[in-house]
Amino acid sequence: MHDFAFDSAVRDWAGVVGHENIVTTASQLVAAETGTFQTGNRIPAIVRPASREEVQECMRIANRWMVPVYPISSGRNWGYGSRVPASNGCVLLDLGRMNRILDFSESLGYVTLEPGVTQAQLQEFLAAQNSNLWMDSTGASPHCSLVGNTAERGFGHTPYGDHFANSCNLEVVLPQGEVIETGFGRYPGAHASPVYRWGVGPTLDGLFSQSNYGVITRMTVWLMPAPEYFQAYFFKCAAEEGLPDLIDALRPLRMNGTLRSSSHIANDYKVLSALQQYPWKQTAGATPLVGPLMQQFRRELRIGSWNGSGALYGTRGQVKEARRLLRLALKGKATDLQFLDDGKIALASRFAGVYERLTGWNLRRTLAVLRPVYGLMKGIPTEHPLSSTYWRKRTPPPQQMDPDRDGCGLLWCSPVAPNEGSHAARISAIASDVLLRAGFEPAISMTVLTDRTLSCIISLAWDRAVPGEDARAAACRNELLARLAAGGYHSYRLGIGAMGAMGEDGPYQQALQSLKQSFDPNSILAPGRYITPRTTGLDVPEDTFSASSTKRIDRR
Amino acid sequence: MHDFAFDSAVRDWAGVVGHENIVTTASQLVAAETGTFQTGNRIPAIVRPASREEVQECMRIANRWMVPVYPISSGRNWGYGSRVPASNGCVLLDLGRMNRILDFSESLGYVTLEPGVTQAQLQEFLAAQNSNLWMDSTGASPHCSLVGNTAERGFGHTPYGDHFANSCNLEVVLPQGEVIETGFGRYPGAHASPVYRWGVGPTLDGLFSQSNYGVITRMTVWLMPAPEYFQAYFFKCAAEEGLPDLIDALRPLRMNGTLRSSSHIANDYKVLSALQQYPWKQTAGATPLVGPLMQQFRRELRIGSWNGSGALYGTRGQVKEARRLLRLALKGKATDLQFLDDGKIALASRFAGVYERLTGWNLRRTLAVLRPVYGLMKGIPTEHPLSSTYWRKRTPPPQQMDPDRDGCGLLWCSPVAPNEGSHAARISAIASDVLLRAGFEPAISMTVLTDRTLSCIISLAWDRAVPGEDARAAACRNELLARLAAGGYHSYRLGIGAMGAMGEDGPYQQALQSLKQSFDPNSILAPGRYITPRTTGLDVPEDTFSASSTKRIDRR
Give the model's pLDDT for residue A365.
Answer: 67
Find the mean pLDDT for residues A525-538.
Answer: 77
Query: Within the 340-359 window of chain A, which residues sit less than 8 Å (CB to CB) from chain B?
Result: none
> Stretch A150-169: mean pLDDT, rounded?
97
Residue B109 and residue A452: Cβ atoms within 8 Å? yes
Q: Which residue has the higher pLDDT, B191 or A532?
A: B191
| Ramachandran angles phi, psi of A41, nearest 5° | -85, 125
- For Cα atoms B147, B149, B152, give the angle at the middle one, nearest 5 degrees: 105
The alpha-carbon gap from A218 to the nearest alpha carbon of chain B, in Å, equals 16
pLDDT at A551: 40
For residue range B322-343, what is the model confidence (pLDDT) as tens digits?
Answer: 999 999 999 999 999 999 999 9
Could you tell me which residue, B147 or B504, shows the higher pLDDT? B147
Q: What is the pLDDT of residue A366?
A: 67
3-state secondary structure of A70: strand
Q: Which residues of A touch B160 (CB under 8 A)?
A: none
Q: Tell me: pLDDT of B1 over 90.
A: no
Comparing CB atoms, the residue among A181, A195, A451 nearest residue B419 is: A195
Lowest mean pLDDT among A232-236, B87-91, B547-551: B547-551
What region, left, alpha or beta, does residue A153 occupy, with left being phi > 0 and alpha being psi -120 to 50 degrees?
Answer: left
pLDDT of residue A541: 41
B252 vs A225: CB contact, 8 Å cut-off? yes
* Residue pLDDT, tens place only, B252-281: 999 999 999 999 999 999 999 999 999 999
pLDDT for A434 beyond 50: yes
pLDDT, tens digit, for every residue of B468-497? 999 999 999 999 999 999 999 999 999 999
Q: What distance in Å separates residue A171's CA from the closest CA in chain B?
A: 11
Task: State the angle between helix axes of A291-300 and A268-275 in degrees (0 to 180), rounded to the nearest 10.
Answer: 70
- What is the percent of chain B with per-residue pLDDT over 70, rounded to a whole number? 94
Is the per-residue pLDDT at A317 higher than 60?
yes
Instruction: Say if A422 is an interface residue toward chain B (CB within 8 Å).
Output: no
What single DSSP character describes residue B151? H
Residue pLDDT, tens place only, B393-403? 999 999 999 99
What does the pLDDT average to over A390-398? 96
C-alpha B32: how far from chain center: 19
Distance from CA of B175 to the nearest CA of A (A): 12
Please give the model's pTM, rounded to 2 decimal places: 0.94
**Degrees to nearest 5, angle at CA B35 with B34 and B36:** 130
Q: Given this model, what pLDDT does residue B70 score?
A: 98
pLDDT band at B548 (very low <50, low <70, confident <90, very high): very low
Question: How much is the pLDDT for A349?
Answer: 75
- Which of B148, B177, B171, B172 lies closest to B62, judged by CA? B177
- The confidence band for B542, taking pLDDT boundaries of 50, 70 and 90, is very low
Q: Say yes or no to pLDDT of A360 above 80.
A: no
A259 touches chain B (CB under 8 A): no
Q: Do B207 and A203 touch (CB under 8 A)?
A: yes
Mean of per-residue pLDDT scores for chain B: 93
Percent of chain A at pLDDT exceeding 90: 87
**Which residue of chain B has the CA closest to A420?**
B108
3-class SS letters over B6-31: HHHHHHHHHHHHCHHHEECCHHHHHH
In the prediction, which pLDDT does B362 show?
Answer: 67
Q: What is the mean pLDDT of chain A?
A: 93
Give the pLDDT band of residue B384 (cuts 50, 70, 90): confident
pLDDT at B553 over 90: no
Q: Who wins on pLDDT, A300 or A70?
A: A70
Quick one: A553 exposed, middle or buried, by C-beta within 10 A (0-12, 13-18, 19+)? middle
B200–chain A Cβ distance below 8 A for any pair = yes
**Chain A residue whose CA is closest to B154:** A198
Q: In this structure, what DSSP letter does residue A464 have?
A: T
**Closest partner CB to B418 (pick from A195, A197, A315):** A195
Task: pLDDT band for A384, please (50, 70, 90 cuts).
Answer: confident
pLDDT at A448: 96
User: Between helices A352-359 and A363-376, what is the axis angle to 10°?
Assistant: 100
Closest CB from A197, A318, A507 relative to B179:
A507
**In the predicted structure, residue A542 carries a pLDDT above the cut 50:** no
Q: How far apart are CA A117 and CA A104, in angstroms?
A: 14
Q: Do A490 and B187 touch (CB under 8 A)?
A: yes
In this structure, the number of other CB atoms found within 10 A of the CB of residue A359 comes to 12
A472 interfacial to chain B (CB closer than 8 Å): no
What does the pLDDT read at residue A68?
Answer: 98
Pick A420's closest partner by Cβ from B108, B197, B321.
B108
Tell me the per-residue pLDDT of A486-510, one tens digit each, with 9 for 90 and over: 999 999 999 999 999 998 889 999 9
pLDDT tens digit sequence for A14-44: 999 999 999 999 999 999 999 999 999 999 9
Is the pLDDT at A554 greater than 90? The verdict is no
Mutate to test the interface with B, among A328, A490, A491, A512 (most CBs of B within 10 A): A490
Exposed e or buried b per residue across A371-405, where buried means at least 16 C-beta atoms within 10 angstroms of its C-beta: bbbbbbbbbbbbbbbbbbbbbbbeeebeeebbbbe
What pLDDT is recorded for position B551?
40
Min Cα–Cα distance to chain A from B235, Å: 23
Residues of chain A with Cβ-Cβ distance to B255 below 8 Å are: 109, 224-225
Element (H, E) at A308: strand A306-314
Confidence (pLDDT) at B6:
97
Condensed to tens digits (0 to 9), the pLDDT of residues A328-355 reads 999 999 999 999 999 988 887 788 777 7
Query: pLDDT at position B534, please?
Result: 67
A533 vs B: CB within 8 A: no
> What is the mean pLDDT of the segment spanning A231-253?
97
Q: What is the pLDDT of residues A418-428, one digit of tens each?
A: 999 999 999 99
B314 neighbourhood in chain A, CB within 8 Å: 256-258
Mutate to test the interface with B, among A149, A203, A517 (most CBs of B within 10 A): A203
User: How far is it, in rounded angstroms, from Cα B523 to Cα A211?
Assistant: 26
What is the mean pLDDT of the segment spanning B300-317? 96
Q: Does A59 touch chain B (CB under 8 A)?
A: no
Look at residue A363 in the predicted model and tell me its pLDDT. 66
Is B83:B39 a contact under the CB 8 Å cutoff? no
**Angle at Cα A491 formed by Cα A486 and Cα A493, nearest 5°?**
155
Residue A230: how many other CB atoms lie within 10 Å: 19
Per-residue pLDDT at B413: 97
Q: What is the ipTM of this complex?
A: 0.94
Q: How would residue B354 be classed by pLDDT, with cut points 50, 70 and 90?
A: confident
Among A residues 212-251, those touching chain B with beta carbons less than 8 Å apart:
213, 222, 224-225, 227, 251
The whole-number pLDDT of residue B363 equals: 66
pLDDT of residue B493: 97
Q: Measured between beta carbons, which residues in chain B are less than 8 angstroms from residue A109? A: 255, 451-452
- Among A174, A418, A514, the residue with its CB nearest the CB of B511 is A174
Mean pLDDT value of segment A113-137: 98
Torsion angle, alpha carbons of B334, B434, B386, B143, to 10: -110
Question: Which chain A residue's Cα is nearest to B484?
Answer: A190
Q: Cis peptide before A381, with omega less than 30 degrees from 0?
A: no
Q: How far apart are CA B505 and CA B510, in angstroms?
A: 7
Which pLDDT belongs to residue B31?
A: 97
**Residue B364: which pLDDT band, with cuts at 50, 70 and 90?**
low
List chain B residues with CB under 8 Å of A258.
Answer: 314-315, 318
